[in-house]
Structure 1
């Protein structure tokens, strides 16, 4: 199992709920996602990201299918212009 973690910080925090909704729609469109959880930061500290995504995938091949799936590419093209920082970690779980 591969766990994929992304922490986003946005230009405008008001977009967080829309990002969350769009991400939560992806499992229905991308079978390579085993699980997906999205959380919006509640503390708002100076070091906090605004939103975190945690997804799991059966293996590295499934993660690559997810990364290149048209629905994921479409989401990335929409969200990246609104992102000020993004940190990604992928690990064997």
Structure 2
């Protein structure tokens, strides 16, 4: 399995719910997505990002199908306009 984690820092943290909704719309776009969770920074808890995506894919092929998927690419384009930074970590689990 492949774990795919993405942290987003937003230009305006008030856009976090919109970013979450956009990401949530990707959770079933390709076969092989096992887990897909989107979280928003919680006031009072430590955070260096505004939104996080934690997802698990069956294998590298499933992740490779997800990345260029037209729906995902449309979401990426919208989030890119709202984000000031992004960090990604993919690893085998």
What's the TM-score once normalised by structure 1's chain length? Answer: 0.89
Q: 1:16 to 1:58 in 2, by over 3 A?
A: same
CA distance in 2: counterparts of 1:27 and 1:45, whole angstroms:
26
1:40 matched residue in structure 2: 40
Q: How many residues align?
A: 93
Describe the SS at the equivalent of 1:15.
Answer: helix
Contact 2:12 2:82 in 1 (8 A): yes
Contact 1:4 1:89 in 2 (8 A): yes
Contact 1:36 1:53 in 2 (8 A): yes
2:71 matched residue in structure 1: 71
Deviations 1:23-72 (A, max 9, x none): 11212333342210011011478961001000111111110100011111
Contact 1:44 1:50 in 2 (8 A): no
Q: Cα RMSD over matched residues? A: 1.8
1:61 matched residue in structure 2: 61
Q: 1:81 to 1:7 in 2, by over 3 A?
A: same
Asked if residue 88 in structure 1 is aligned to residue 85 in structure 2, the reply is: no
What's the TM-score once normalised by structure 2's chain length? Answer: 0.89
Contact 2:27 2:36 in 1 (8 A): yes
More helix by share: 1
